[in-house]
Every structure is written in structure tokens, then in C-alpha cells.
């Protein structure tokens, strides 16, 4: 059995306490993970603080080279880390390897942009510059749905900006991230990237820790609110990338044959466990039934199973808590009159946390399935008559992460997109991030942005320098 360890100051460490890691395809434990102690966390923070003194003074190009070495080391471990990610997260093996490959790509691409600088004024009397300094030690907390690529986002910009880091993955999916830490031991200077695992209490220790200067958190809205409150005691800089209830609005000129597979993928990739997934679909009356039929056929044909089985396209829900939540939403959905389950609507008769891909027709706007973020393989499809009504209903939510508009007229799609209250709105596309595109949400979907120039700047502290010229 593989032994998993923390990475603290460039060295492998175990812990006195361990916890089980569950394979969601079997609902049984398959590995033990060390649970970091408070003393070990303190030492990880101290190591990051010590490393900051030299790391922050390196030229950005040199830091970029170190991060590229880390990316190359991660690429060499795809075949070893991929199966671990599948066992702990549940996604098919090909998708697990794709995630790690995506992390390698993002690590490389996110370090290619220049660090921010602005000459505010040079008028012969004064020269005023806006320069940026690394903040210090970053505490990064990542979720269980895409643990590797979301960690890579934080590592890339956090370290490239000159900060050092303590990274903690979700206790549901800690192991692949601990293997990232192993790569860091040889690819990065000691103490620059420390990786520790543990329960939710470790996240609270980090957000309260006086030695951590910035928190980058990706996860649920309720937990994000706790993070923000906890970090306020030391006025840490905080970025929160939280949940979404993303609408997809189909316009009446849309080509259903072209868009239905893409809508389906946007809703059911990773078993719907994506913050930016399609979680509500609004379709015009004339396209409504054909769209329901098309989505239902895809759902019925979608192969669900263990991520190691040949041809599997969708794995289980990642954990029992989420499995129970989605089942409760399904049961609530079935109680409402006039609602039709066009496909799925049931669990699979096998071990593990499997739910069949589910398409729900004619849900009411006040149902849990429409109001809440289901974060699972269930998508409601609503009918509308007037586009203004669809936009109003799409915006009637406390979330505002992403959205999409589907049409054969992209300029018209862009006009509609600008009316939607969300941090990212795509036309004829849904789900995806790019290194140069800032990502984050309106309303309760987050605070701040990651990725892009805005994301990079969030890992830096701006400083105005005003110098007299005469």
C-alpha cells in the first residue's frame, strides 16, 4: 500500500493521526491519509515564512523557471497520480489524467504574463508609479471536485507573484494533492510550497493563523462565509471562488442538433460536480419538447460506472454527503405536480454513490432543484415565452458565477449575455477556464477573481511611489 505524507519545508512527514479515504465507486476505504497536527501546520507556515525572504527577491523569470520545473515534474507523474485521483474522486481515469494534464498546462501558461505595473503620472513635477509587492504566505484551500487543477491555479499565480504557500486539499480528496507535494520537494526550493492534509479544522487553523497573510479558498458558499469571518480577525486578504446555479438560455433561433450535446456535457461532466456547470436550462416554447427529448436520449445512453471500467463516461458522486443531498433534491422534485422526469431520477443498484443522469421537465421556479445548487447529475429544463422573462428568471438567484446563451446569431447572444448577472457568460459554450481570463462570481458566488491579470494582481499588494522631479 502506498504511504502518503505531507510536504513540510521540502521534507516528507507523516502524522500520529490518520483518517480513511473513501473510494466513492465502492463506498469503502482504500487508503489512509495523515492528519496534520497543529504543531506541524505551524512549522509549515514557519517554513513558508522563512522561504519567502529569498523567494520573493528572485527575478520573476527565475521563479517562472522553477514553476516550469514543477510542471514538468507533475507531467512525468500523470500515469502514477491519475489512478489515485480516480480512486479518491470517482471520475473516469481518462478524465483524471486530463485534469492533471490541464494542471500542467495552466502552471506553464499562467506564468507567462507580466507582473502588473503602472506609470500613473510623469508630468515634469512628479513621477508617480504603481508597483506591486508579494503579500507573503498564502494559505490555499482546495475542493474535492477538481483538486489538482484548482490547486495548480493557486500555485501558479501565488508563487509566480513571489509568495510562498501552504496548501490544504479537501479531506475527501487529499491523496493526489499530497503527491503534488512530493513533486515540489525536488522541483522547488525548500519551504516555497508546503502541502498538508487534514479535516475541516485545519482550514480554520489556517484562516485564523497570524503567520498566513492571504487565503485563497475554493468551495461552497456556506464554507466560504465561514472562511471570510474567520480570516477577518487578522484582516487577511481573501479570495473566495464559491458555488453557482448557472443558467443556460436557449434562444428561439438555436440549432438543437448542434447545441444539445454541448448543453448535455456542460450539465453532466464530472457528474455535474462543477461550480460552473449548467444547472438550469431555459428554452423557448417551440424548442422545449425537442430539447427535452434530445437531452433525455443522451442521458439514457450515457455510460455510468467505476472510473476504471472501459467506456465509462461518468463516475459516482464524490461523497455520501453530496449523494444524500442530491437524492433529497430528487425526492423533493418528484413530489411536485406537473413535473416530469424525462430520464434517470434514480440511484444505481450497485455499491457506491451513483445516480443516473437525470433530466427534469417542467419544474417550478420555487423548487429546490431550481433554487439551490444541486452539484450533481440532475438538470432542470424550464419553458419560457418571452426572452425578457427568461433573463429575469435566470437572474433571480443569490448566485452569479457563470451562464451561457445559445443561438445561431452570436451578436444577439452577446447582447443577451451582457444582461445576465454572472462573472462569466459564454455564447454557444459552457464550462471551461483559460489562463488569461479572470474567473469569479457576482453576488454570493464569490469575492475577487482568480486567473488572468486580475487574478495575478490579487496575489500582490499595490504600492504608490511618488517622487519629485524638481
**Active-site residue list:** 241, 275
3-state secondary structure of 48: helix
Cα gap 77→81, rounded to integer Å: 6
C-alpha cell at 111: 506564468
- Residue 468: closest CA among 117, 132, 118, 124: 124
Residues 67/156, Cβ–Cβ less than 8 Å = yes
What b-and-e string marks burial along 209-235, b requiring 16 or more CB atoms within 10 Å of the CB? bebbbbbbbbbebebbebbbebbeeee
- The span from the CA of 320 to the CA of 306, in Å, is 16
Residues 6+ apart with CB under 8 A from 130: 116, 117, 118, 119, 120, 462, 463, 464
In terms of Cα–Cα distance, which of 210, 168, 189 is closest to 69? 189
- Separation between Cα atoms, residue 352 and residue 10, nearest integer Å: 36
How distant, in Å, are the alpha carbons of 101, 125, 465, 468 from that of 122? 45, 7, 12, 10
Residues 6+ apart with CB under 8 A from 186: 73
d(CA 291, CA 289): 5
93-109 and 147-160 helices, crossing angle to 10°: 10
Amino acid at each position: 500500500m502506498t504511504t502518503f505524507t505531507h510536504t513540510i519545508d521540502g521534507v516528507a512527514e507523516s502524522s500520529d493521526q490518520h483518517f480513511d479515504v473513501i473510494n466513492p465507486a465502492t463506498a469503502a476505504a482504500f487508503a489512509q491519509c495523515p492528519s496534520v497536527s497543529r504543531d506541524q501546520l505551524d512549522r509549515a507556515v514557519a517554513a513558508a515564512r522563512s522561504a519567502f525572504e529569498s523567494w520573493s527577491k528572485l527575478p520573476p523569470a527565475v521563479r517562472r523557471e522553477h514553476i516550469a520545473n514543477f510542471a514538468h515534474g507533475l507531467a512525468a507523474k500523470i500515469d502514477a497520480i491519475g489512478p489515485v485521483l480516480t480512486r479518491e474522486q470517482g471520475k473516469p481515469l481518462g478524465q483524471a489524467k486530463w485534469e492533471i494534464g490541464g494542471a500542467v498546462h495552466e502552471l506553464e501558461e499562467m506564468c507567462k504574463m507580466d507582473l502588473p505595473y503602472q506609470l500613473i503620472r510623469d508630468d515634469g513635477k512628479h513621477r508617480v508609479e504603481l508597483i506591486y509587492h508579494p503579500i507573503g504566505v498564502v494559505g490555499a484551500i482546495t475542493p474535492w471536485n477538481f483538486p489538482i487543477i484548482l490547486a495548480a491555479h493557486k500555485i501558479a499565480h501565488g508563487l509566480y507573484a513571489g509568495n510562498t504557500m501552504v496548501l490544504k486539499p479537501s479531506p475527501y480528496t487529499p491523496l493526489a494533492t499530497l503527491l503534488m507535494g512530493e513533486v515540489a520537494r525536488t522541483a522547488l526550493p525548500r519551504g516555497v510550497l508546503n502541502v498538508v492534509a487534514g479535516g475541516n479544522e485545519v482550514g480554520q487553523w489556517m484562516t485564523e493563523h497570524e503567520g498566513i497573510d492571504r487565503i485563497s479558498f475554493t468551495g461552497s458558499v456556506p464554507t466560504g462565509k465561514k472562511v471570510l469571518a474567520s480570516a477577518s480577525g487578522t484582516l487577511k486578504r481573501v479570495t473566495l471562488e464559491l458555488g453557482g446555479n448557472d443558467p443556460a438560455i436557449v434562444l428561439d433561433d438555436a440549432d438543437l442538433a448542434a447545441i444539445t450535446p454541448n448543453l448535455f456535457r456542460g450539465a453532466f461532466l464530472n457528474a455535474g460536480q462543477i461550480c460552473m456547470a449548467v444547472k438550469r436550462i431555459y428554452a423557448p416554447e417551440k424548442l422545449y419538447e425537442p430539447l427535452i427529448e434530445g437531452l433525455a436520449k443522451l442521458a439514457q445512453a450515457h455510460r455510468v460506472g467505476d472510473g476504471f471500467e472501459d467506456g465509462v463516461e461518468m463516475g459516482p458522486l464524490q461523497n455520501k454527503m453530496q449523494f444524500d443531498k442530491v437524492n433529497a433534491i430528487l425526492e423533493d422534485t418528484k413530489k411536485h405536480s406537473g413535473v416530469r422526469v424525462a430520464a434517470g431520477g434514480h440511484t444505481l443498484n450497485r455499491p457506491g454513490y451513483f445516480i443516473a443522469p437525470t433530466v427534469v421537465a417542467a419544474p417550478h421556479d420555487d423548487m429546490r432543484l431550481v433554487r439551490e445548487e444541486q452539484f450533481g447529475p440532475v438538470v432542470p429544463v424550464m419553458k419560457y415565452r418571452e426572452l425578457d422573462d427568461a433573463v429575469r428568471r435566470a437572474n433571480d438567484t443569490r448566485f452569479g458565477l457563470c451562464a451561457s446563451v445559445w443561438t445561431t446569431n452570436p451578436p444577439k447572444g452577446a447582447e443577451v449575455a451582457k444582461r445576465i448577472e454572472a462573472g462569466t457568460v459564454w455564447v454557444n459554450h459552457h464550462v471551461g477556464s483559460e489562463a488569461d481570463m479572470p474567473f469569479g462570481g457576482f453576488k454570493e458566488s464569490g469575492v475577487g477573481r482568480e486567473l488572468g491579470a486580475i487574478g495575478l494582481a490579487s496575489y500582490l499588494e499595490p504600492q504608490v511611489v511618488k517622487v519629485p522631479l524638481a
